[in-house]
Amino acid sequence: MPLYETVLIARQDMTPASVDELSATLTKIITDGEGKVEKTENWGLKTLAYRIQKNKKGYYVLMQIDAPAPAVLEMERQIRINEDVLRYMTIRVEEFVEASTEEKEVA
């Protein structure tokens, strides 16, 4: 199956628990579509480069997905409907890249 990476930005007034709930909902959509989420990283609350819908900050979430295209399209449709998501981007990748130990030490 094709590999995808999705990054989404959720509103700043959400709680961390509700952000986790949102990512769990998206994971369920992928698994119902016969795919699987390899990894979900919650990058936390970060300052945005510019305001988006009057928000100065947003919760960033990265999802690495191994799923057929219809499952990813359904997930994107649900993201567009959700008012808590400010922006999202899904790209198809050849393989998932893990951060090296040097990058982990810097972060």
| pLDDT tens digits along 18-75 | 999 999 999 999 999 999 999 999 999 999 999 999 999 999 999 999 999 999 999 9
State the pTM of this model: 0.84
Indicate the average pLDDT of the chain.
Answer: 89
pLDDT of 105: 60
Map residue 84 onto helix, strand or coil: coil
Query: At 5, phi and psi to the nearest 5?
Result: -125, 130
C-alpha–C-alpha distance, residues 53 and 47, integer Å: 14
- Hey, which residues does 91 pair with through a beta bridge? 5
